[in-house]
Amino acid sequence: MTKPMMDVRALVKKSADADLLREMIGFAAERLMELEVGAKTNAEYGEKSAERTAQRNV
């Protein structure tokens, strides 16, 4: 019996554009993490504020 849906890892291995797909997934994951950190600290990367108690690491 075949799987109705191919998992992402199998798709990446079979794709001729595997490097491009990996780059796109990596960029999306990094951007989502950046947005989450910004929401939790109420600050963008490199932003300084005296009223903020949270601090962002590089």
Determine what percent of the chain is predicted with pLDDT higher than 70. Answer: 64
Is 8 a residue whose pLDDT tops 80?
no
pLDDT of residue 20: 82
**Alpha carbons within 13 A on the beta-carbon side of 12:** 11
> What is the spatial distance between Cα 42 and Cα 24, in angstroms, rounded to a whole number?
26
Query: Average pLDDT, whole number, for the chain?
Result: 76
Q: What pLDDT is stored for residue 27 in this prediction?
A: 94
With bands split at pLDDT 50, 70 and 90, how would you rate the model's confidence at 32? Answer: very high
